[in-house]
Structure 1
Amino acid sequence: MKVYTKTGDEGKTSLLSRERVFKDSVRVHAYGTVDEANAAMGLAKSLTDKEWAVTIIHGIQAELIALNADLATDGSVTDSSKYRITPSHVARLESIIDKLEEQRIPERHFITPGATTASAALDLARTIVRRAERCIVRLRRTETVSQPVALYLNRLSDLLFVLARCVEQEALIAKVTQAVMRVLQKHGPNEGGTSDMLERAKRMIAAAEKKAVEIGVPMVIAVVDAGGNLVAQERMDNALLASVSIALNKAYTAVALKMSTDQAAVVAQPGQMLYGINTADNCRIVVFGGGFPLWEEGALVGGIGVSGGSVEEDMAVAQAGLAAF
């Protein structure tokens, strides 16, 4: 069968009912716009390496073909069982949205598409689906359209928005994790002449403890080497149990990001370049004050982390230890 049929040369096309309509009819506009959205989703699918996202997109694309078959059926159909898209399809989209929302870090600002190529394609598909929905609103004023079809497209636009944000989020986490791993691979635990690291860690902990006693707050103090490995840690009497892991993770964060944790807190705010980084590296990244990197002659040799009081108290005790390095 030839690709070109010449049956549309006069500006008309056939619906599934074999009825001939003009190609610029509202119904043809509607299913043509859905076809356009399907193509944009295909582009997104080809641009992502996330298998879970590919599975979601591919399943929806198959349903859009069935949805277009419903749109290409004229309004004379009265038996709803003959329609292909049903309320169960709408419910499935809602279920996917709910699951994605559990993973997504909510944004508190307007989204500018283009953070990644895949999310940009998903945002493009979302806007096309919105246009298809508007076509259907117009079509329903004069002709019959299955209710689940209209609901499906409405939920689909919401799903594509959330999916785009989750794809962006995973890309950011992967990028940060790779950067952290490069740092860890570059700097070995004994780099920078740190053979006496344990003795220096003990001096830092003693100085930090003295400051903690002075302000009357029991603290946990941890010191790590350039690879983020624990060198020494002390938990003062009555210090919070939770502070044991927090102090260690603060020291690790300072080494992993080559910055103090209060600096990390600034760039991890919504809209900033490292927003969401606290979910990376198995959630070891801490984005509030109390952790500082240790530098020696321009080389990163370790980190100190303190936990147990307020952010200001943790930072003051950590800086006392830092001064003894």
Structure 2
Amino acid sequence: MSIYTRTGDSGMTSLMKEKNISKSDDRIQLLGTIDELTSNLGLVKADTDQTNVVKFLERIQNNLMTVMAKVADPFNKDYRLSKDEVTALEQEINRLESLFEREKKFILPGKTRRSAQMDVARTVARRAERWLVAVDKKYGGDLIIKQYMNRLADYLYVLARYTDYSESNRQQDQPADSQKSQEKRTQETAALQNPAGDAQMKGQDGMQMKEMNEALVQAVLHRLGTPGRVGLDLAKKLIEKIELHALQMGLPSVIAICTPEGNPVAVHVMDGAFLASFDIAMKKAYTSVAVKMSTMELSALAQPGGTFYGVDKADNGRLIIFGGGIPLKAGDTIIGGLGISGGTGEQDHELAQYGQQILKDLLQQ
């Protein structure tokens, strides 16, 4: 039987249970865009050398097939995504973000060929999401599918940025030292597969730089009157900067700062902040120094089957496993903890990361 049927020559097509539908129909546009996205993901998958990334992309492609079936036959209960698929995307986003520091600026795609293809897939995912909204308004839709499509574009963005970061590190390897280059690639592969071990994968150059900078860090801290820890004066300056950024975000928040031992230094409550945010912000700051990582990173490791599953039940419930807590560092030295509560975990985490960057600026003044 020939692949062509001539039935669509007039510009009409069919869905599973509907016939004579114009190819300009929003549902057909959505199906075509998802098909385009799946093909672009195939290019990304074919060009990556990371086995776990390939498997995750295949999982996404299968989910997109389910989404297409749901669009074509919306009343079939067999075609639906589990909330677990949205959670899986969020966990993978958190895991990748914990492996590198994302640049706070607009990114021009094309730093590497691999990341450029991921960015193409991301833009197609956003277009599919827009068509999904149009279909939802006319024909109704599935909330979980909308959430999934939104997270998918976020995942592809973070994957592209991590790819830029990883490729950049590879290019910095000394070509004459093939053994060292191979060790670097092995570390990058392990980082994708084992985020908890990423902190242990610094090369000799990083260790030497740490030793060189440590004395300088301690000198700066001593000049601020806060040797090895954040003091009240520094905390007040940091809170002031964070509050201005929170106002720009329209995010009334509670900002808490503690010592490396978890003892409170300062807590600031913005006008309009939730009452519950006071206690939550304090716990986020405490958690960040207790586990020496951001609460966003801890969240990814505290999921069922994860290294720290059930950690939120420990320490009399003082540990928080959603975004907004981050250890404050001067160089590689933890000098305190920052906890922010006022928005979603992602918004609080973004604000906390901003605080860490501002801290660097304050220490250089």
The interval holding the TM-score normalised by the smaller chain is 0.5 to 0.7
Partner of 1:116: 112
When the two structures are superposed, what TM-score results if normalisation uses the length of structure 2?
0.50
Task: Determine if contact 2:86/2:151 at 8 Å carries over to the other structure.
Answer: yes
Residue 130 of structure 1 contacts residue 154 of structure 1 at CA under 8 Å; is this kept in 2? yes
User: For residues 23 and 207 of structure 2, what CA distance do their matches in structure 1 show?
Assistant: 57
The SS at the match of 2:139 is: coil
- Equivalent residue pairs, number: 203
Q: Residue 60 of structure 1 aligns to which amino acid in structure 2?
A: I
**Structure 1 residues 68, 289: closer, same or farther in 2, change over 3 A?**
closer
Unaligned runs of 5+ in 1: 186-278, 291-304, 314-325
Alpha-carbon distance between aligned partners in 2 of 1:178 and 1:67, rounded to the nearest angstrom: 46
Matching residue of 2:26: 26
1:3 counterpart residue number:
3
Give the structure 1 partner of residue 84 of structure 2: 88
Q: Which has the larger radius of gyration?
A: 1
Letter in 1 for 2:155: L
Cα distance in structure 1, aligned partners of 2:21 and 2:174: 55
Cα 1:12–1:115 change in 2 (3 A) is: same
Q: Kindly indicate whether residue 205 of structure 2 is the aligned counterpart of residue 285 of structure 1.
A: yes
Which 5+ residue runs of structure 2 have no aligned equivalent?
182-198, 220-365
Give the number of the structure with larger relative contact order, counting CA–CA contacts within 8 Å between residues 6 or more apart.
Answer: 1
Distance 1:184 1:135, change over 3 A: closer
Pairwise CA RMSD: 3.1
| 1:168 paired residue among 164, 168, 172 | 164
**Aligned counterparts of 1:36 and 1:50: Cα–Cα separation in 2:** 23
1:184-195 matched pairs, under 5 angstroms: none
Alignment-derived partner of residue 316 in structure 2: none
Identical amino acids, percent of aligned pairs: 32
* Secondary structure of the structure 2 residue equivalent to 1:135: helix
Q: CA 1:96/1:286 → structure 2, altered by over 3 Å: closer, same or farther?
A: closer
Paired residues of 2:173 and 2:180 also in contact (CA < 8 A):
no
Alignment-derived partner of residue 140 in structure 2? 144
> 2:66 aligned with 1:66, yes or no?
yes
The answer to whether the Cα contact below 8 Å between 1:34 and 1:132 also exists between their aligned partners in 2 is yes
Bigger mean CA offset, 49-58 vs 2-11: 49-58
Structure 1 residues 28 and 307, CA gap change in structure 2 (3 angstroms): closer
2:21 aligned counterpart, secondary structure = strand
1:284: Cα distance to partner? 2.5
Contact 2:15/2:72, CA 8 A, preserved across alignment: yes
Deviation at 1:310, TM superposition (A): 2.3
Cα contact 2:126–2:153 (8 A) shared by 1: yes
